[in-house]
Amino acid sequence: MQTNRFKCIVAGLAAGILMAMAKSGFAQGYTPPSYAPPADMQQWLADTQNQGALAPGVTITNQNWRQYKQYMPFGLLTLFDGRYFWKIPSDAQIQVGPTIILPQPKTYLEASEKYGGQTSIGTTPEGRHYLINYHGGMPFPTAFDGKPDPEKGYKILADDYLSWVPDLYAQPFNHPGISCVQDRFGNIACTTIVWVYTQVGWNTDPGVPQNYPQAGDAWFTQWFEVITPEQSRYTTNLTVFYKNPNKPEDDYVFVPALRRSLRLAVTARCAPAAGSDLVLDDYFTPGFNGGLALFDATYLGHRKLLVLEGDFTHQTGHIPDDWDMPLGFPKPSWGKWQLRDYDIIDTRRIPSQRAGYCYGSRVMYVDSVYHYAAWLDIFDSNLKHWKIQFWASRAEDVPPLGHVNTNSVTLGVWDVQNDHATYLSTYDDQGVGPYFNNGAPSEYRNYTRFSSPSGLMQVMQ
């Protein structure tokens, strides 16, 4: 009798909570989208449906690439077939090595197992999505199990967006990363940048709070400052991401000429990041920085695809000298490529937020183990192919977690409509790269300096 009474009390409390959520606009279910992929992707999906074996030791060149095109994402295929201004250089080689799977951090996997089974998707009346009962780790551990699931597309997007990254990722001031842009005439202009990314909520790394007490509802902050060229020096951007899906990210920029910071409009998410071909919605977890509230995704399928990932050389900060130009492609000296499992999703803004947005479709090739997007094909509002993004995620020694794959990247972006390109390395021309977690000097732990708007006023001090 007491047990039944207790069950009634719990049921009544649950009903009351659901009623309160409904009144606040947070009790809607989730209906998967039904849009068709861009026409180019439909053809690519049909052409790559039957994949045979590809053994390590193969070298892919401009002469034999057609034998291996079923292992190429759509964008890489277009670089080989020569349909655009940007083309694979005549001497380029992709040397295929063994597939090496590094373990993910133990604490992240433990959090995924502990919380993943209780996470679900909700939608507000205006169509914004949010995660219910998410507390850290992988939101949907079963999204990559190969089983049919009408919600698979959005679940994979959530697993990508909330994939493991170090609690602290700091590019040091004395060894900034380098980003270069190139136009169709071969003119190259480079910028050096330092950045500090801090996960201030939903943490799983040992030795730090799960939620920073001073962070409030924020869960992540991104800070970067331009070091060179001199005319752009001290320009600094801060983005604060919130757990509340109804609260858009806050974007701030410090303008040196004004000696003050400005808060950017929400529409600035399509603004170029540090003058590159990446917009603010592109970077961070490789390939996607747009949040989960304003986007949806459909599942396009599973493929084995080629990527440069893991333990490839760090000596790639010499741009353009150490890159295969004029495309800006990895040289064979960087390391061997791997054939890895990818789940492919078509990500788009929700209908109520789609008008005026820069991208019509972002096709993401998401690693089935690490959940980072290694390749992206981006289409404009008319679903015409626009950009190819290549994100090579590096393995790093991250204290105290050991040798793991991270969001430290070398990347190439090719704008096939405007014949423009961007290349970036998180390692400088001396081969020195970022700090992680407690391997970073203590000054990069300054929350006010690197995670709050007030810290922007310290930029030129």
Count the neighbouring beta carbons within 10 Å of the beta carbon of residue 2. 6
Q: Answer yes or no: is 4 within a domain.
A: no
pLDDT at position 272:
84
Q: Answer yes or no: is 17 within a domain.
A: no
Nearest of 167, 105, 168, 166 to residue 441 by alpha carbon: 168
C-alpha 245/C-alpha 174 separation (Å) is: 37
Q: Answer yes or no: is 455 within a domain.
A: yes
Read off the tokens for 206: 């040992």
pLDDT at position 316:
66
Give me the helices (H) in 71-220, please.
74-81, 106-115, 152-161
Q: Answer yes or no: is 129 within a domain.
A: yes
75: helix, strand or coil: helix
> What is the Cα 75 distance to its own chain's centre?
17
What separation, in Å, do the N-terminal and C-terminal C-alpha atoms of the chain show? 69
Distances (CA, A) of 279 to 177, 288, 455: 17, 10, 23
Read off the tokens for 106: 């133990």
Q: Answer yes or no: is 453 within a domain.
A: yes
Are 416 and 387 in contact, with CB atoms under 8 Å apart?
yes
pLDDT at position 27:
53
Q: Is the pTM of this model over 0.85?
A: yes
Q: Which residue type occupies 174?
A: N
Read off the tokens for 71: 């292992």
| Residues contacting residue 115 through CB under 8 Å, at least 6 positions apart | 133, 134, 135, 136, 137
C-alpha 263/C-alpha 251 separation (Å) is: 6
pLDDT lower than 50: segments of the chain: 1-25
pLDDT at position 26:
52
* Boundaries of domain holding 135: 28-461
Q: Answer yes or no: is 6 within a domain.
A: no
Q: Answer yes or no: is 306 within a domain.
A: yes
Q: How many domains does the chain fold into? A: 1
Q: Answer yes or no: is 300 within a domain.
A: yes
CATH classification at residue 276: 2.50.20.10
Read off the tokens for 84: 């655009």
